[in-house]
Amino acid sequence: MPLPRIPSIRVLQNPREMALGLIHQVNATTGRACPCHGGARHDHHHHSVTGGASRPKFASTINTSTDYAFEMAASSIRYGEGVTQEVGMDCANLHAKRVLVVTDPKIAKLSPLKRVLDSLKTSGVSHDVFDQVRVEPTDSSFAKAIAFAKNYKPDVIVAVGGGSTMDTAKAANLYSTYLEADFLDFVNPPIGKGLPVDRPLKPLIAIPTTAGTGSETTGTTIFDYEALGVKTGIAHRNLRPMLGIVDPLNTQSMPPQVRAASGLDVLCHALESYTAIPYNQRSPRPDNPLNRPAYQGANPISDIWSLKALGMVIQALPRSVKNPDDYQAQADMLLASTYAGIGFGNAGVHLCHGMSYPISGLVKNYHHPGYPTDHSIVPHGVSVAMTSPAVFKFTGAACPERHLEAAKLFVGADVSNARLEDAGTILSEKLREFLYKLDQLPNGLTGMGFQSSDIAKLVEGTLPQQRVLKLAPAGAGQQENLTKLFESSMSLF
């Protein structure tokens, strides 16, 4: 089976040029039958941007060669029912004098935040609250949190909420440390410069209230860049929280729609990281370990976390959505979210996430049930899941064994006599069946108001997602392939 060459993407100096999708493409080439399992190394040439002062290069490094190593980075995790009450002691142990608590307006009225504030008060820790996080944040909403942090000058930050809150807290932490930085300095190329985070940041404690993003374990923050109408992010392992406090009590107030959307993010985190290209096929090899990206490709350690998370999601998500009193399923989903966060936070994600960003960014008048906001919104997990059947049908040929390994975890699946050439189709159909039975999704992109005439813009919004496209196990970064994937995702059922 041919191994497609991963598309080489030119870094564009002009964001407007980038937005038009003027990106180099390369044709497929041959290699091992299963890149996800094979040990052979292939040179895939990418352009990259590394910022900051000139750094010494290893004498043996060739910039165009593939990497030869991976790094495993994750936050410390504390798990347990009621463990939120310890956060005040954590801040006191850090000798914190000023703690900034970051949350959103809804969580600000609920018990998880009250538990945090009570704990800080009990421990005698001075604190202030920023409660204006935007669900699905933008650079403008980040700017408000950054300004608040710069003015308050905290020595510890505590994030209480879902992925949007934890990502906002990471941005506030970063830019209140680099006071002189321009916002685009750390944003992923080609929109920003992608400078490495080479200073110690303030201790960040993340307390998730949804079972989805795994952001308590990762060094990634995602937002809508309003000037271009696209999603992008900042990614560096030094952004990750010092501690993730994972407390099942904090997810019990989620409505079913939020449980479903959050859980679908976990599902795709696990699947994408397990099927990403191997770490030793990612290029270029960094000239300094500081420049090794957070998303490095599948590796033996991330595989363990990703596959375990996938099995847990398949079993627990339907139960947690349909039965609000199934607290064991809710606890399992919270653990699965953290497991998947450790997996994808190092291996990375690929096509489902890359394609989800323009879906969220270009939504017109769609308001997903269970998300009371004053703006149109496609929850991140929903936008990711929309393309998953099409994506994994397409990528199956690149590493069929891995697609079959994932498919056999679904209820009722028997792949013992399956042919490798059918791997993508089998996984795609199991995903489609799983999504249909969950009964919480619109019927594809048309169910969110998109039309065939929108596909060109969706493709344009996907092409700049260099950080994730280059990890796809097939050459889907090409415009014609992305067009077909969006066409196939217009209707799911």
pLDDT of residue 476: 60
- Shared domain check, 238 and 166: yes
pLDDT in tens, 116-163: 999 999 999 999 999 999 988 999 999 999 999 999 999 999 999 999
Weakest mean pLDDT among 16-20, 304-308, 395-399, 416-420? 16-20
Give me the residues paired with residue 222 across strands. Answer: 233
- Shared domain check, 242 and 270: no
Range of 206's domain? 76-250
Whether residue 132 lies inside any domain: the answer is yes
- Shared domain check, 270 and 231: no
Q: How many domains does the chain have?
A: 2
- Shared domain check, 225 and 124: yes
For the residues 166-185, what does the mean pLDDT come to?
A: 97
Whether residue 29 lies inside any domain: the answer is no
The conformation of residue 56, written as its DSSP 8-state character, comes to P
CB count within 10 Å of CB 20 equals 12
- Shared domain check, 326 and 234: no
For the residues 445-465, what does the mean pLDDT come to?
A: 94
User: Rounded distance, CA 422 to CA 427, Å?
Assistant: 9
Per-residue pLDDT at 92 exceeds 80: yes
pTM: 0.84
Q: Which residues, in sequence order, are CB contacts of 261 under 8 Å at separation 6+?
A: 212, 368, 370, 371, 379, 380, 381, 382, 440
Whether residue 5 lies inside any domain: the answer is no
- Shared domain check, 209 and 92: yes
Whether residue 21 lies inside any domain: the answer is no
Whether residue 68 lies inside any domain: the answer is no
- Shared domain check, 326 and 235: no
The residue among 203, 221, 250 that closes a domain is 250
User: Rounded distance, CA 68 to CA 280, Å?
Assistant: 5
Per-residue pLDDT at 427 exceeds 80: yes
pLDDT of residue 86: 98
For the residues 80-99, what does the mean pLDDT come to?
A: 98
The residue among 230, 250, 270 that closes a domain is 250
pLDDT in tens, 3-26: 333 333 333 334 333 333 323 332
- Shared domain check, 131 and 201: yes
pLDDT of residue 14: 41
- Shared domain check, 177 and 302: no
The residue among 250, 274, 293 that closes a domain is 250
Confidence of residue 38 (pLDDT cuts 50, 70, 90): very low
Whether residue 396 lies inside any domain: the answer is yes
Whether residue 22 lies inside any domain: the answer is no
Burial (CB count within 10 angstroms: exposed 0-12, middle 13-18, buried 19+), residue 95:
exposed
CATH classification at residue 119 = 3.40.50.1970
pLDDT of residue 25: 32
**What's the whole-number average pLDDT of the chain?**
87
- Shared domain check, 212 and 263: no
Confidence of residue 35 (pLDDT cuts 50, 70, 90): very low
Whether residue 355 lies inside any domain: the answer is yes
- Shared domain check, 393 and 246: no
Is residue 127 helix, strand or coil? strand
Structure tokens at 480: 């014609």
pLDDT of residue 54: 35
Crossing angle between the packed helical segments 400-407 and 256-275, to the nearest 10 degrees: 150
Confidence of residue 301 (pLDDT cuts 50, 70, 90): very high
